[in-house]
Amino acid sequence: MTIDFILFLILALVAIAAALGMLLSRNAVYSALFLVLNFGTVAVFYILLNAPFIAMAQVSVYAGAIMVLFLFVIMLLGTETLPPSKSLPWQRPLAFILALILAGEATYLLLVRKAASGPIPQPVDTFGSPQAVGQALFNSYLLPFEITSVLLLVAMVGAIVLTQKDKGK
Amino acid sequence: MTFFYLAPWIVFFPVIGLLVNIILGHRFSEKVVGTVASLASGLAFVASALLAYSLTQHPEAFRWTIGEWIHIGTLQLDWTFRVDTLSTTMMLVVSGVGTLIHIYAIGYMHEDVRFKSDLKRFRRFFVFLNLFIAMMMILVSGDSYLMLFVGWEGVGLCSFLLIGFWYEMDTLGRPSWANSDAAKKAMIANRIGDFGFLIASFLMFWTFRSLQFDQVFEQAPVIAASNPGLITAITLFLLVGVTGKSAQIPLYVWLPDAMAGPTPVSALIHAATMVTAGVYLVARSAALYVTVPAAQYIVAMVGAVTALFAATIAVGQYDIKKVLAYSTISQLGFMVAGVGMGAFAAGMFHLITHAFFKALLFLSAGSVILGMERGHHHLSKHEGHKGHEGEGSPLSSRSTPEGSRERARVREDRNHHEEIFDPGDMRNMGGLRKTMPVTFWLYLIGTLALAGIWPFAGFWSKDEILADAFRENFTAVYWLLTVAAFFTAFYMGRQIWMVFFGRPRHEAAAHAEESPKIITIPLMVLAVLSIFGGALNYPGIETLTKWLEHTIEFIQPGEFVMNVALISTGLALFAILLSWLLYGLRPLKKNQPDPLKKMLGPIFTGMERKWFVDEGYFALFINRYVDVARFTADMIDWKFWHDWFHEKVIAGTYNFLSNVTLNRYADQRGIDAFFNGLGEWTKNASAALRQVQNGFVRSYALFVLLGVVAILGYLLFK
Amino acid sequence: MVDVAYYVALSAILFTIGALGVLIRRNPLIIFMSVELMLNAANLAMVAFTRVYTVLEGQIFVFFIMTVAAAEVAVGLALIVAIFRTKHSINIDEMNNLKG
């Protein structure tokens, strides 16, 4: 039991707990906050996996921007809780059964088939550093990178158009 | 200096003329339309003359290709104009006589369209006439049998169009389909001949692998030595074409009816040029015919028999144009006999002189008819009847359909009130010598030329044929032609006495008026040619023979045989004397039957009724054809196919099958139940499946996950 | 470092929880969050494998996924706002017009 493993176990438990918290909270605001916690732990995992740039992006983009947007919309609409519903009585048990089967399949894959394991080489120090990622982004992946800017612009225009009040009415 | 490059223009000029008249003609006055057409024809004549002049310096055949035509395998044909002494001779005749007739037609059609009250057709007439000249030029200048055939068919088309020019009336202007029937008759008779021509062409291509004249003629002697039957077949099938186009027995029947066309058409197409195409074809194919004497003999006999046969019919005719039509058939018989015997120069010579004097006779006859119509018109106006509609007044607004119906009505009205007057019937004429003196003298010159009286053109050319027949020992042909010459002189004498002498047998003849100068001047030119045309080939000088020698190497110089000349001239003079005794001495009275009728009885009836050939054709072929058609329609199509096969076999079998196998029980319990069950099942299944589509996104997502789990499971545990 | 199998297992657990959230929650905002959670689980597996094979492409891919997720959230939230405006409710069970 190395220190690494203990740290992983604790963080993993926190992440799963946070995810379950998001799933089970009645209040949407709590759900959002649990998700932020989950994102934070995942960011720590990224650092452990030699991906500091992605970890920073995770914190700033996901935990920061996106989740703030969620909270903002939840509070704007005032839809923290919803009244209980009678529709689709079979949905919930069926969903649980399917989720269990899915988890079982994953377990089988990991334990019986040993799909991915083995000694892991130690990468060079600069692996995953912002510098290396930047080099890759602006050399080999310049075109996709530029296209994401168009995608974001389209998303932005789309959001504005969708939420705009109809002047015709 | 040579002008061979003008070769295509003999066709282009008339085509340009007709295009100008088609496109701009509606703005032109009649005079301009006529001038354009005449000019087109005249320029073609000038071009032909220049080509002839060029040939005097380079007498060999000249071939001028203007483009590729058909190149398929061994069939290599170009659009090539052939300028040699034979084709140029034909060009000169066609465009020369053609131009004179164009000019004449300006005057003739001016009155004709007014008598028939459709001024718009003036332009159409000249378009057709120019088209005819163009097609005839293609016919005579073609360098292959196929190009010749294009012209051959083209002139046939023009002939059809012009015979049926007044297609909605008969020759007297009454509403009827008589004229278009005549046109159709010409077309069909010619089709039979064209079929022979086509078979000959196919055989020719099969034998010689070519349709080009030089290539065919080159191989002809070789093939004739090894396989004479083949050449005989080709030449005889060509003869079928000749009998169609040149109106020989047995296909001549269309030519008399073709007189339904306006008189210039009768003169140009059905006397002077188109009908001589068959003679030209035989002369052109001389190299083929000389290799098979049997075919030559048959051609000569066909010509000679036709000459006599048609001449006898001409004796019994009363219509001025019908007499000339049968005379044309007869004279064509002379030509065909001539070229058939191998006397190509004599045949061509007679073709040329005949073009002169027969055109002259036809056009003069047209002048006579116009004079009679004028007299009749004058008469009806004088008597206060409702006048001929149309005279002199602008009637262009009446060429609408209403206009033509109106015309027909007026015409019918007139026919109710007046007796039917036929301006072409010689029994209505008489004494026209005094009222139409110019026409009389011109007609007389034509008659003497046709009858073969020295020194007119016809004497020399007809005599050359007779002399050749005599010398070459075609005895039967010689005697047939000599007797035909006797009849020729007789019926022409009869015509002259009946038309121009004696007393008028109808008021119209008494009031007939002379034709204007535009009509008489071309006639005078033709009259001069009819007198001196013999100079082309006077015995001993032989200009034409020497000229044609460059093209037809088989020509032998003719020889003047005094006995033959004396016999034929003597017979001709005797015939004229005889006709004077019968028709001149005691002129026919009104409604008096022909004096020959008393003397000859049934023989004259036969002549009068054209030996019942048309009736015979009807009985032998046309009615049989109708019977076959009726049989196939009634028996085969209706009784067999409809009544028996469709009704009994197909419908009966079907009804039987459906009654037996698909009765009420099988239908309702078996088929209906099955399909109703299928529909019911589909309905229920879809009602059940409809529950799945409930519109809840979560539910859809559940199915997506189900799919994911299933696929993953399959991948893991397969 | 920790064996990559543990990371994959964690990723699988988080993905299943996310899928469950999509299926059982009726609040479209929470469904959205669950979707984000599933994306994160995928990202985590991707980064883990990047570390195993020491190739940088995995991280680049994760970067693009984040970008697309950001765009998706912007449009998705705008849609939710627009729907709320017309229906005055965002209960997903009331949005069943798709059945036609």
C-alpha B556: how far from chain center: 32
Whether the Cβ atoms of residue B194 and residue B156 lie closer than 8 Å to each other? yes
Asked whether the beta carbons of B63 and B80 are under 8 A apart, the reply is yes
Asked if residue B401 has pLDDT above 60, the reply is no
Task: Tell me the pLDDT tens digit for each residue of A37-63.
Answer: 999 999 999 998 888 999 999 999 888
Q: Are B236 and B298 in contact (CB under 8 A)?
A: yes
What local confidence, expressed as pLDDT, does residue B150 receive? 94
Would the pLDDT of B415 be above 70?
no
The H or E element spanning position B593 is none
pTM of this prediction exceeds 0.90: no
Distance, in angstroms, between C86 CA and closest chain B CA? 18
Q: Where are the alpha helices (DSSP H) in B209-276?
A: 213-226, 228-245, 254-257, 263-267
A157 in C contact zone (CB under 8 Å)? no
Rounded to the nearest 10 degrees, what angle do helices B85-115 and B517-532 cross at? 150
State residue A3's pLDDT score: 83
Distance between CA atoms of residues A14 and A29, nearest Å? 19
- Cβ count near B469 (within 10 Å): 28
Looking at residues B25-29, what average pLDDT do you find? 88
pLDDT of B438-453, one tens digit each? 999 999 999 999 998 8
Per-residue pLDDT of B617-646, as tens digits, reads 888 888 898 999 998 888 888 888 888 888
pLDDT at B241: 94
Dmax (CA) of chain B: 132
Asked if B101 and B522 touch (Cβ cutoff 8 Å), the reply is: yes
- Chain A residue nearest residue C65, CA to CA: A148
Which residue is closest to A10 within chain C, CA to CA? C10
The highest-confidence range among B333-337, B541-545, B656-660, by mean pLDDT, is: B333-337
Q: Residue A79: inside a domain, yes or no?
A: yes
Q: Is 60 exceeded by the pLDDT of residue B577?
A: yes
Partner residue facing A69 (CB), from C37, C62, C77? C77
Distance from CA of A116 to the nearest CA of C (A): 6
β-strand partners of B65: B80
B398 pLDDT more than 70: no
Determine the distance in angstroms separating the CA of B678 from the nearest CA of chain A, rounded to an integer: 32
- Is B572:B452 a contact under the CB 8 Å cutoff? yes
Higher pLDDT among residues B22 and A108, named by residue: B22
pLDDT per position in chain C (100 positions), as tens?
678 888 888 999 999 999 999 888 888 889 999 999 999 999 999 998 888 888 888 899 999 999 999 999 999 999 888 888 888 877 777 777 766 5
Residues in chain B: 718
**Residue range B653-676: average pLDDT?**
79
Task: Decide which of B58 and B233 is more confident.
Answer: B233
Residues forming a β-bridge with B81: B64, B142
Q: What is the dihedral of CA B311, B317, B322, B328, to 10 degrees?
A: 10
Asked whether residue A94 is assigned to any structural domain, the reply reads: no
Q: What are the φ and ψ backbone dihedral angles of A141, each rounded to 5 degrees?
A: -115, 35
Please name the chains neighbouring C, where neighbouring means 3+ C-beta pairs under 8 angstroms.
A, B
Residue B645 C-alpha, separation from nearest chain C C-alpha, in angstroms: 57
CB B336 within 8 A of CB B355: no
- The three state secondary structure string of B391-421 is CCCCCHHHHCHHHHHHHHHHHHHHHHHCCCC
| Across A1-23, average pLDDT | 89
Bridge partners of B79?
B67
Model confidence over B270-324: pLDDT tens digits?
A: 888 999 999 999 999 999 999 999 999 999 999 999 999 999 999 989 999 999 9
**pLDDT tens-digit readout, B234-250:** 999 999 999 999 999 88
Instruction: Kindly report the three-state secondary structure assignment for every residue of B416-476.
Output: HHCCCCCCCEHHHCCCHHHHCHHHHHHHHHHHHHHHCCCCCHHHHHHHHHHHHHHHCCCHH
Residue A4 within a domain: yes
* Helical (H) or strand (E) element with A24: helix A3-24
Which chains reach chain B with 3 or more Cβ–Cβ distances below 8 angstroms? A, C
**Cα–Cα distance between B337 and B350 in angstroms, integer?**
11
φ/ψ (deg, to 5) at B72: -130, 110
What pLDDT does residue C98 have?
66
Looking at the domain assignment, is residue A55 inside a domain? Answer: yes
Structure confidence at residue B541 as a pLDDT band (50, 70, 90):
confident
pLDDT (mean) for B165-177: 86
What are the backbone dihedrals phi and psi of residue B69, each rounded to the nearest 5 degrees, phi first?
-120, -75
Task: Please report which helix (H) or strand (E) contains residue B83, including its range.
Answer: strand B75-83
Q: Residue type at A143?
A: L
Give the pLDDT confidence of B100-146 residue by residue, as tens digits.
999 999 999 998 888 888 888 999 999 999 999 999 999 999 999 99
Q: Is residue A8 part of a domain?
A: yes
Partners of B283 in the β-ladder: none
Residue A167 — pLDDT band, cuts 50, 70, 90? low
Q: Does A115 reside within a domain?
A: no
CA dist A31 to A45, A146, B99, C33, C65, Å?
A: 21, 34, 111, 8, 22
Helix axes B293-315, B320-341, angle to 10 degrees: 160
pLDDT (mean) for B503-525: 88
Q: Which of A94, A105, A113 sits opposite B712 (nearest CB)?
A: A105
Averaged pLDDT for residues B491-501? 91
* Confidence band for B98, pLDDT divided at 50, 70 and 90: very high
Whether residues A88 and C91 touch (CB distance < 8 A) is answered with no
Q: Which domain holds residue A15?
A: 1-83
Q: What does the pLDDT read at residue A119?
A: 63
**Burial, B352: exposed, middle or buried (Cβ in 10 Å; 0-12, 13-18, 19+)?**
buried
Report yes or no: B439 and B364 within 8 Å, Cβ to Cβ.
Answer: yes
pLDDT-wise least confident of B3-7, B152-156, B357-361: B3-7
Between B408 and B551, the more confident residue is: B551
The closest alpha carbon to B358, from B283, B266, B280, belongs to: B266
Report residue A14's pLDDT band, with 50, 70 and 90 as the boundaries. very high
d(CA B692, CA B23): 76
Name residues 40-69 of chain C within 8 A of A (Cβ). Answer: 40, 43-44, 47-52, 54, 56-57, 59-60, 62-64, 66-69
Number of domains present in the structure of chain A = 1
User: How do residues A134-143 score in pLDDT, each as one tens digit?
Assistant: 888 899 899 9
Residue A25, domain CATH? 1.20.120.1200
**CA–CA separation, A15 and B184 (whole Å):** 105
Indicate the average pLDDT of chain B: 87
Q: Do A102 and B698 touch (CB under 8 A)?
A: no
The most confident of the ranges B69-78, B370-379, B479-488, C89-98 is: B479-488
Query: ipTM of this model?
Result: 0.90
- For A76-86, what is each residue's pLDDT tens digit? 888 767 777 66
Residue that has been written with the tokens 């080489």 in this structure? A121
Q: Which of C3, C68, C75 is closest, CB to CB, to A159?
A: C75
- The single-letter code of the amino acid at A122 is Q
* Confidence band for A114, pLDDT divided at 50, 70 and 90: low
Which of B697, B705, B715, B718 would you mutate first to test chain A, the one with the most A CBs within 10 A? B705
How high is the pLDDT of residue B383? Answer: 59
Q: How many CB atoms lie within 10 A of CB A75?
A: 13
In a domain, A105, yes or no: no
Confidence (pLDDT) at C1: 66
Tell me if the bond preceding B455 is cis, omega within 30° of 0.
yes
Q: Does A95 fall in a domain?
A: no
Q: Does the beta carbon of A134 lie under 8 angstroms from any beta carbon of chain C?
A: no
